[in-house]
């Protein structure tokens, strides 16, 4: 079983034909919440259990292109113990449970495809314990990253993961979110130290190192029935299986995460950002890969194609050159930044960069990033009445230039208006395409393009999703990416959630799996 490597240029797309029917979509059985279940939940939560039509519709809608499938009821929970009660009530009738945070998913994670109860955690938004000495904070899952960083402002500490959207920490755990700063600070697997989670049978666990202060066990079975913890934690451990990282990225299919302990980073002494534009996309990406391969520290390295620059210029009233561009930011001491920034500028010039503009004041830097952060709305603004489709792939560095250039070409050939942005320091890029539901022919072309893009990424050793997760949108690609390993992922799913009540119909096509 030695590897045959197929160069990207030739992939599009030989040999992927044999995938056949693995992952083909099949109908999922609906398990509507019964009147008894809803009445039991009502008794538990009172007014915080809603079945109003507008609330249901809102909870079936995220920022994705997927169809709206509202749940049968929405439970606005306020504590971990309440989540336990909700799960126990639902488990008794095999009613699906769909965790809901800020609704910013773009792969349909919150869609109630099998019916059931949406568990809205946005009311669990307490910042429970800041530990300055160990640079960590424990928060409830409904805290948003903007809320957390606002709260940390006076401490000199920050939570660095920035997926763009103002997602909740719980949602970011669910999809293993990352974003513009991941090239320096990592993703959720790097920055979440431990989790409190409610499992499919209602039991509460706390993952990660901690001290058990108190534990009650049933004498015959040694079953733990009650315990209490101190949750600082050590910086490393080799004790047992890594449930923290198993739950991160499991998209609500194994447990409802209710509390998260996060690693914090110091606010950097200084920050320096620049934007530079290139004649050709290839030159921009080559600059990026060279910077990375030389190991020059960057805190952010974002690529925008000319369509994005145009959209952002119009939307935010900016005046950037209409060419493929990179925004590069460094964090560190003033001294280090000077050195790093000048090396990067030199590399960029070697690749023909024009208009290198360094944001020297904090206002300039804010304006620069406000453009990048507005991309989603700026692009949709180009097509009145549109919704947005966002593709998300990541590829190895050595293949990044080819992958992006081929994708540009594919957009052109397909006659699609699409815009490419990328966290190129991670080899991760998105294609944003505005669309309207009434134009079926356009929708078809868009989906075919997306399919080719994913297969192109996979064929060069990349992933079908760099940071958005599988949800309902990428299910057919999981076996292409992981092969037989998916069977063992599903074995774990079945073992931890034997009734398939935890966000069913996401990640796996259950009826594809054999064990």
Question: Cβ 318 to a copy of itself, closest distance in Å?
Answer: 29
Tokens at 294, concatenated: 């030389």
**Whole-number Å distance between alpha carbons of 453 and 476:** 14
Nearer CB in complex with a copy of itself: 64/178? 178
Nearer CB in complex with a copy of itself: 83/309? 83
With left for phi above 0 and alpha for psi between -120 and 50, is residue 413 left, alpha or beta? alpha
Question: Cβ 20 to a copy of itself, closest distance in Å?
Answer: 6
Question: Cβ 319 to a copy of itself, closest distance in Å?
Answer: 33
443, 451, 428, 364: which is closest to 183 by C-alpha?
428
Question: Cβ 35 to a copy of itself, closest distance in Å?
Answer: 31
In DSSP notation, 205-227 reads EE-SS-EEEEEEE-TTT--EEEE
Question: Cβ 429 to a copy of itself, closest distance in Å?
Answer: 11
Q: What are phi and psi of 284, to 5 degrees?
A: -65, -45
Question: Cβ 502 to a copy of itself, closest distance in Å?
Answer: 13
Question: Cβ 493 to a copy of itself, closest distance in Å?
Answer: 8
Long-range contacts made by residues 292-298, C-beta under 8 angstroms, separation at least 24? 292/183, 292/397, 292/425, 293/397, 294/343, 294/347, 296/340, 296/343, 296/344, 297/184, 297/330, 297/332, 297/336, 297/340, 298/183, 298/184, 298/328, 298/329, 298/330, 298/340, 298/344, 298/425
* Contact present, 186 and 159 (Cβ < 8 Å): no
Question: Cβ 5 to a copy of itself, closest distance in Å?
Answer: 5
What's the DSSP call for residue 232? -
Question: Cβ 178 to a copy of itself, closest distance in Å?
Answer: 6
Nearer CB in complex with a copy of itself: 70/504? 504
Residue 30: strand, helix, or coil: coil
Alpha carbons within 13 A on the beta-carbon side of 266: 8
Nearer CB in complex with a copy of itself: 31/474? 474
Tokens at 329, concatenated: 């930011």
Q: Based on the number of CB atoms within 10 Å of its own CB, is 188 exposed (0-12), middle (13-18) or buried (19 or more)?
A: buried
Nearer CB in complex with a copy of itself: 270/485? 485
Nearer CB in complex with a copy of itself: 193/312? 193
Residue 273: strand, helix, or coil: strand
**Whole-number Å distance between alpha carbons of 302 and 388:** 20
**Whole-number Å distance between alpha carbons of 272 and 281:** 23
* Contact present, 462 and 400 (Cβ < 8 Å): no
**Whole-number Å distance between alpha carbons of 194 and 68:** 33
What is the 3-state composition of the chain as percent helix, strand, coil, each rounded to the nearest 5?
A: 40, 20, 40
Nearer CB in complex with a copy of itself: 120/176? 176
Question: Cβ 436 to a copy of itself, closest distance in Å?
Answer: 28
Nearer CB in complex with a copy of itself: 199/318? 199
Question: Cβ 310 to a copy of itself, closest distance in Å?
Answer: 28
Residue 428: strand, helix, or coil: strand
Nearer CB in complex with a copy of itself: 366/488? 488
């Amino acid at each position: 079983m030695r590897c045959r490597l197929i160069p990207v240029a030739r992939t599009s797309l030989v040999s992927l034909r044999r995938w056949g029917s693995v992952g083909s979509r099949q109908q999922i059985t609906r398990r509507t919440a019964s009147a008894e279940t809803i009445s039991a939940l009502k008794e538990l939560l009172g007014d915080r259990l809603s079945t109003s039509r507008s609330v249901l519709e809102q909870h079936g809608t995220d920022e994705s292109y997927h169809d709206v499938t509202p749940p049968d009821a929405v439970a606005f929970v306020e504590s971990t113990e309440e989540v336990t009660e909700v799960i126990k009530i639902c488990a008794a009738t095999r009613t699906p449970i769909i965790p809901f945070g800020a609704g910013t998913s773009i792969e349909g994670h919150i869609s109630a495809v099998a019916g059931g109860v949406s568990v809205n955690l946005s009311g669990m938004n307490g910042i429970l314990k800041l530990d300055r000495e160990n640079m960590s904070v424990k928060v409830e899952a409904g805290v948003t990253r903007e809320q957390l960083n606002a709260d940390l402002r006076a401490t000199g500490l920050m939570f660095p993961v920035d997926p763009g959207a103002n997602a909740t920490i719980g949602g970011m755990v669910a999809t293993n979110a990352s974003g513009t700063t991941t090239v320096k600070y990592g993703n959720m697997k790097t920055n979440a130290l431990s989790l409190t989670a409610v499992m499919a049978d209602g039991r509460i666990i706390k993952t990660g190192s901690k001290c058990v202060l108190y534990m009650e066990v049933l004498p015959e079975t040694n079953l733990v029935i009650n315990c209490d913890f101190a949750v600082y934690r050590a910086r490393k451990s080799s004790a047992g299986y890594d449930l923290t990282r198993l739950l991160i990225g499991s998209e609500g299919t194994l447990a409802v995460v209710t509390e998260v302990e996060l690693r914090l980073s110091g606010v950097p002494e200084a920050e320096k950002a620049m934007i530079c534009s290139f004649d050709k996309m290839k030159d921009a990406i080559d600059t990026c890969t060279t910077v990375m391969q030389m190991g020059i520290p960057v805190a952010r390295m974002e690529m925008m194609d000319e369509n994005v620059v145009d959209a952002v210029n119009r939307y935010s009233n900016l005046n950037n050159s209409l060419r493929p561009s990179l925004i590069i930011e460094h964090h560190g001491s003033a001294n280090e930044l000077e050195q790093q920034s000048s090396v990067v500028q030199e590399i960029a010039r070697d690749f023909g960069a024009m208009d290198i503009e360094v944001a020297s004041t904090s206002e300039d830097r804010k304006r620069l990033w406000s453009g990048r952060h507005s991309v989603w709305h700026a692009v949709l603004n180009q097509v009145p009445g549109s919704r947005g489709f966002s593709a998300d792939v990541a590829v190895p560095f050595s293949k990044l230039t080819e992958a992006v250039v081929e994708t540009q070409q594919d957009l052109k050939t397909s006659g699609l208006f699409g815009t490419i942005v990328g966290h190129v320091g991670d080899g991760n890029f998105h294609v944003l395409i505005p669309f309207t539901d009434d134009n079926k022919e356009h929708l078809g072309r868009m989906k075919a393009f997306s399919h080719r893009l994913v297969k192109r990424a996979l064929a060069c050793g990349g992933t079908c999703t760099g940071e958005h997760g599988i949800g309902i949108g990428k299910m057919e690609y999981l076996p292409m990416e992981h092969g037989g390993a998916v069977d063992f992922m599903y074995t774990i799913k079945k073992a931890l959630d034997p009734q398939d009540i935890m966000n069913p119909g996401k990640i796996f096509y259950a009826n594809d799996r054999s064990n």
